[in-house]
Structures are given as C-alpha cells and as structure tokens.
Structure 1
Amino acid sequence: MFMNFRRIRKCQCMQLLTTGLLLCVVMVCWDELDHHVVSHMRSYTYRYLVNSYDFLNSSYALSSSHHNRKDGYYDADGRLGNYPYLINHPGKCGGGGGHGNSRDDVLLLLFVKSSPENFERRKAIRDTWGNENFVWSELGASVRLVFALGVHPDVGQRSRVQRELLQEDQACGDLIQQTFLDTFHNLTSKLILQFHWGHEYCRQARFLMSADDDVFVHMPNLVKYLRQLLSSQSGAKDLWVGHVHRGAPPVRRKDSKYHVPHDLYPWPSYPDYTAGAGYVVSGDVAAKIYHATLLLKSSMYIDDVFMGICAKAMGVSPQEHMYFSGEGKTPYHPCIYYHMITSHGHTTDVHSLWQAATDPTVYGNSGGFFSNWYCTTVKVALLCLPYYQNTYSCMAAFT
C-alpha cells in the first residue's frame, strides 16, 4: 500500500485556503457577528446562569450627601434632571376639569414623549386615541393626556419653535416642558420628568402610561384591560407591563445611536425592561420608580434601560403583554384590532387607523366558533410567517 503525497498536499492546501477564507469572512463580519450572536450568547449566559444585578445598587447609587436634596443633584456624572419648568399645568389632574368631579377618579395618566417640532403628531393624537373627551363620554373613564418635552436643540430654531409651543399650549393646555435639550441622549431626563410630575401633581392616578408620539394606542382595549386589572384579586399592584426585553446585551458598536461604552455600563447584560415605545405601570410602581430616581444616578441615557435599572433596584419585574408591540408595527386587519393595545411607527395614518380599529363591526363580527377560527387563521398568516417582521409575536395569534 502506498500513499499519494501529491494528493495529500493538494488536500492540505485546500484546507488552508478554506480556513483562511473563513477567517477573512469572520474578520470582515466580526462586528455584525459579535453584535447579533456573541454578545447575545454572553448576555443570556450572564442573565440566566449568574442572574444577579446586585452590582447595580452599588454602582448607580448616589452618595449619602445627595439623598436628602429635594432639588435633585447636579454632579456631572449623575445629574438627575430636575430642570425648571417652562410650561406646566399643576392642576391637570384636579377637580372641575369637565371629566370628573374629584381628585380621585383618574384612571390613567398618559404621558406622551414628544419632540418640540412634532406639532402634527400631537394634534393627531388629541384628535384620536388621546382625546380625553372621547374616553370620558364613550368609555366612562377619566384619562389625563400630557406631552413631555424639552427645548429644541437647534439654537437657530429654538425661539420660533418655543413661540409656537406656547401658542399650542394656550389652545390645548397639555404640554409639560422643562429646560433640558430635547435630544436622544436626554431621554432619561424626559423619563424622570414623567415620574416626578406624576408624583407631584397626579399621584392619585391608578395607572401611568408612557408612550412615544409615533405610537398608536387602542384606547378602548386599554381601558378595558386596566379595568379588568382593577377588578382582579391583585387589585393592579406591582404592575409594569409592556413588550419585555430579557437578557438584552449593551450595544458596543460605535456607529449605533444605542452605543453604550464599557465605562458607562461594563456588564454583559441589562436588567429586564420593557420597550420605551409604550408601557403601563400601576400607581404604586410609579411611586417606586420616582423614589428610585432619587437614589440612582441617571448617567444611563437609554431611558428604557434606566427604567429597568430603577425597577430592579425597587424589586419590580416587567410583565409581557403580547399586544404591546414594543418597536413593532401591527398588521392592518380587524382580527388584530380586536386585541391590540399599542402599535409603533404611526405618523401619517393615525386618523385612518383609529377609524378602522374602533369601527363597531370589529367587535360585532367577533365571537363564535367560525369567527374565532377565521381570526386565528388570519393572525397565524400575519404574525407567524417569516415575511412579516417586527410585529406582535406568533403566540399572539392564539389568544
């Protein structure tokens, strides 16, 4: 028996070339590979094997000299964001507002995070799902809508936009504005504004909701859901509900707007949190988050992650609701509207979606074996097939 050394050398060369090619591909695609595979494996390992976030309390806690300061703290690393108000409505949740006669009847305080220049988005929300008069007259629920704003970041446009904001508020009376610059890296200041304002001026609200101004909220379904929670045995305590991100890793890619450097957050996994596009907390959780913001540094500029840090420090865990879409956008279909709570990415279709989603026939055609079978089939096609991305999960098709 004899060996063909020439064939062996050819095989070895092919193996070397193949290995080299694979290494080149890995090196070229490493950022994407690390972002989508390696970091998530590391994060899930940390989240589900180590599963300890005790370090957050010590790493984000303020020194004792800051704890008793009612005006907040203003150190460079952890400015809490108690900025002065430019526009405020302290009596928004008070009596005599036309939607109720006492200070104790507010079902939902609805905070919409908006940019100063988004006048049309705010108008569309007031005309549709955020219309307080509609919610009161048609649903019998007391909802208070306010928009959380900073100041326009462009100095050249700031004066003009501010004049227009004052005119808008004079007509609508629902803007809450502080002096921080309204930028992505100040979203945590906007989150703090919501919980501080709610604690100061609307503490009696049973629930607090935070939503982006490009989110659609199916208000009849939300009110129904909240009332069911209030009538449950738990009485809507310790509630933080939305689209939950579990074991999410920090984004280390410098070209991403969600980039978080190691010196800001050195650990491989965030605490569980709900997508900031839309979530609801009960009144007792709102109070806990408020107190957490007094104790923790707000150096984490991704607001929904900071919310997760605050909640973890206070012993609050998020709950998944399949019809809170998070960053996803709902497919347009009556079988979806029957259960939907939120949908993200709506700027020009709010009026048409509101009309379609609240059409009485949506509820009139529901119920019965064949209707349920039909809607389940439709939802499987819309939510479970791979050509629809970033919407409700497939599990929602079977509810």
Structure 2
Amino acid sequence: MRILHTSDWHLGRSFHREGMLTHQAAFVDHVLEVVAGEQVDLVVVSGDIYDRALPPVDAVRLANEAFTRLSKTAARVVISSGNHDSAQRLGFGSELIDAAGIHLRTRASQVGTPVLLGDAHGPVAVHALPYLEPDLLREPWELSSRSHEVVLGEAMRRVNADLATRSPGTRSVVLAHAFVADVAAAPPEISDSERDISVGGVSIAPTSLFDGIDYVALGHLHGRATLSDRIRYSGSPLAYSFSEARHRKGSWLVDLDAAGAVRAEFIDAPVPRRLHQLTGELAQLLADPTLDVHRDDWLAVTLTDPVRPHGAMEQLRARFPHTLQLSFAPSVPAGRERLHRQPGAGVSDHQIALDFISELRGAPADGPEAALLQAACDACTHDRDLDREVS
C-alpha cells in the first residue's frame, strides 16, 4: 500500500500578516499531483487542518475544495483533528462524508475503531487518533494522572485491543497529533509557530507507546523528523515562522509492503519564497552587493546600529520588498554604561523618559522631543483637585 503522509496544513494562517491562502492552495494542487503521479492508495493528514477553531470562510472553502478533489481520486483519505482544530466543526457530517472515501476522525469516542482498507496483500487497519486533551479525558477515561503519555497510552491500549481481534497479517497504521520523542535520544526540534501543549510542564510522549504498529504518521511538530523507520513527522507543508527557515517542507511517500515493512521517500512541497535572516547595521545591509540574492526572500532583519535609525523599515523595503520582521539589537560602545534609574528615587517622570530615549537611541532627545515628552508626562499627572470636583 502506498501512503502519502502529511499534516499541519494550518489553513487560514498568515505569516507576519502575509496572506498564505494562495500558497496553501498551491500545496493542495501539489498533493493532488502527487496522488495521481505516484498512484497513492491512502492519504493521511495528521491534524491541524485549520489554524484555529473558528477558521475564516476562505480557509473552509479551500478545505472543502481539497476534500472534494481528493474524493474523486482513487485514493482513500483519513484525517484526524489537531490541537488547533475544533473537533466538532471539522468532524461535522463525518458519517456522511465517509461514503465519499474521506474519513474524518475527530472524537475521542472513535478511538479504537479503525478505517479498514485492503490491497493485494490483505487488510490494513488505519487508526486515526484525534488530538487528545489530558484534562478533558482524565475523568471519562478514568486515567491515573493527567499527562500526554497517559492519555496516549490509553488510546493505544484501545487500538491494540482492536488489532488483537483482526486476522493474522493485518497491517496497522496510526495517526497521532502529539509531541512524541525517543526518550533515549534528543527530542525533535521545536518551531516558534507551534502551540505549546504541555500539561504540568510535560508535553512529550515516548515512542514506545507505538511498539508493534507498522507505520505511525505523526503531526504537531512543524519540522519533518524520522524517529525510526516506522515513526515519522511530516512537518507543516509551509514555513510559518522564521525559526523554520532551514526546514525542508513536504510529505512522506510511504510504501507498506506485504509484511508491514516500510520504505519512505520525502516529497518536497512547492516553496513560495525562501526565508532568510539578516543581521548588521542598516547602512551595511543596504550597500552590500552580495545581499542582492535575498531581494525576493521573506526577510527577518536585526539591526545592530548603536543609534536606532529613523525609517529603517521603509529603507529596508526599498531594497528588500519582502522584509516582514524588524528587530533591534544595538551594539553598545565600550565604556557606555546602561542606565538603571528607578522611579521614586527623586527623579521626575520626565527625566526617566529622557533617560530611556537616550539609552534606546544612543543620543539624547532634542528640544522639541523633550518638550513633547514633558507635555505627555503632564497629561498623565494625577490631579487630586480635579478628582474632588468631579466626585
């Protein structure tokens, strides 16, 4: 059986206010091309179809288009909900949609009930685990404690109980949306665009929970990762933070043979723009000819000028039109001490504001700026006499 493993589409998400729906639609086109060109039998999407529980209308329209187009292919599709999805909204009408070969699994009550498929070598049981919130399931599932390891452990107990009833030789695929890691190895890399799902400071579940499963298609982490030959993260199809600049985005094309052995190949997704981070003083970044290669990239720029330049973003975008993020890390000249004047030490609010400007910019406020700060401080002064008149 040939499987295309993808996850974390996050339809409706923007990238530093840059709309991504057009690029997400291009990824859907890419998925359909791979399904047709590679003769895919099963597409699995391991959670976070949408970026938020109440997705924008255009995102819902794109998801509907994606599911409709996939339903017209020869592939079956199994989709689970992630921590960004609303299980109720994503799962609406799932019983009706099943008939079209699109299987949405979003409810904890469905855990342990597989989507049953088959090929020339026999049956394949696909267990899609929705994102399982430990606090919500501790009581109904009578869990011993509140953790992702415990709730996933109970889910896998139910999965294994079902697999034990299947005919010998039945192969197994599990979808899970969680932070899974090999406890004996370094955990997979975390991206800035992932929402923290830790409970009591703990978010990791061990790979050992999936012992005996032929292929585990993981979602949640936005970087692809191979935890073992049979346990993988596909990562998100697009970069959603500059921390993902070095990620390779795409999907896993997995062949599951007659004995359940796995062979996987990574299929690259289309890249709308490269991501890059630049650091340096503004004049140097604007003048350096070697930086021309980044003119069409999405850029995050950190300026190190000791004095914050005026109109920095406008100047950067004149050369690099797709600069999206600007931050400042000024270099402090040797011998210059940082100010730490505290309120209430016999210093006026106006002087504290002037000190702040001087430290931030490396130069004092000029006359008009000092006057404006004085007027702002006066406007915020607590006037007890005025309070008494009003009351």
TM-score by length of structure 1 reads 0.27
Greater strand share, 1 or 2? 2
Which structure has the bigger radius of gyration?
2
TM-score by length of structure 2 reads 0.28
Greater helix share, 1 or 2? 1
Flag the structure with more relative contact order, 1 or 2, with Cα contacts below 8 A and sequence separation at least 6: 1
